[in-house]
Structure 1
């Protein structure tokens, strides 16, 4: 895909993220630069506490950036109202607080809130979009099940369906493979890869599954204590970026296999 022929969905320029109080500014990560395009799957990785969730909270307008600029669809993030932003990006959190008494169809229908009238009545178009989202995530057969009846893997697919029903060009997920076994971790990331390609969505997700991200992502955003790197996985391997992520006493990055291995 030639990115020169289309504009970016999300762009960060000289971005610094962290926390600001009246007395103190705490910088978590600085000098972050990247640009995301349609049809891409992008993995955000790094060690625990490095600032992945802080970065995601910043680019979804849940907290203010300390420095720099964020552009969504060429316009400054701060220029968007919550209502308008909800038509540009959808957010999938590992959220155990959602009402599991809802049916799957009802939960996925919540993705239509930015477009429904004040009483939230679904039109035929809304219902068609919800059913399409269920079909894309292979959850159509679960539509009338209550969410408390679902496995963790099924629930994650349903949350992705809700984001698809929101019909935004950008989907952001915070650790979508948490609580899943190895098979379902790979399944969810393969599903995201397929959606990015077939629906031409820009999908950014944070994850600790670095080996899977290297295999499946078009680009990766790698946060280290010294810098934040953004490139294709093969380029990041060539640059030696992954060798700097963790102490080398227990795990090390094998450049031949392109994966982390436990030291013997």
Structure 2
């Protein structure tokens, strides 16, 4: 949102808060987990929203807080991109394009991400539209990039390491408790790296919410540590310790030169970058 407003997600109930006046503009409204929602080209947020007997594909107007259900979906999914009257989503290992008005299936294809017959698990919330088409995190394997036809283009083995990823142009900025990587989105080639374990002495735990602003990569970890990594010098520029834990459900927000964070107790922190 804008620099004076912030969307808060309290167990999948969204509220828009005006920071200057300290008041709610709308909400709470049920709209699923905020970390799974995507902002579409139409200016609406899109998400798979749970209902008592299943799930619906729905949109949320950030100006009014109005939620509109496009239609029921037979499987749970993760929205990847919304625009031109359609929503592209990942449902299990299937790439699905649905009509934005009705949620009807326009086409569906299975992604061939592993050897024939080998089951794979995808971290759908970490998927990115970049490089050749779609970059998919495969659990316990690494990243796999596929083109618009769903065919693999490149793979980056990472084992069981879990990275938080920020995309800037054609570069993936990837950070985990042990490593920071710069990776070319079109080719999967590693452009640079840093030993995060050495920089923090093994202190980091489950890093999340990677975001890049002004030559710095910002992220937080489970313990409540917020930090900035200078991308030029590859050094830690600053750190801040929140009063409570800060899991992935409490993501950072970077907008117009400001950094916002919230911990598990509901305390909100604001920083000028």
TM-score with structure 1 length normalisation?
A: 0.30
**Greater relative contact order (Cα < 8 A, sep 6+):** 1
TM-score with structure 2 length normalisation?
A: 0.29
Which structure has greater strand proportion?
A: 2
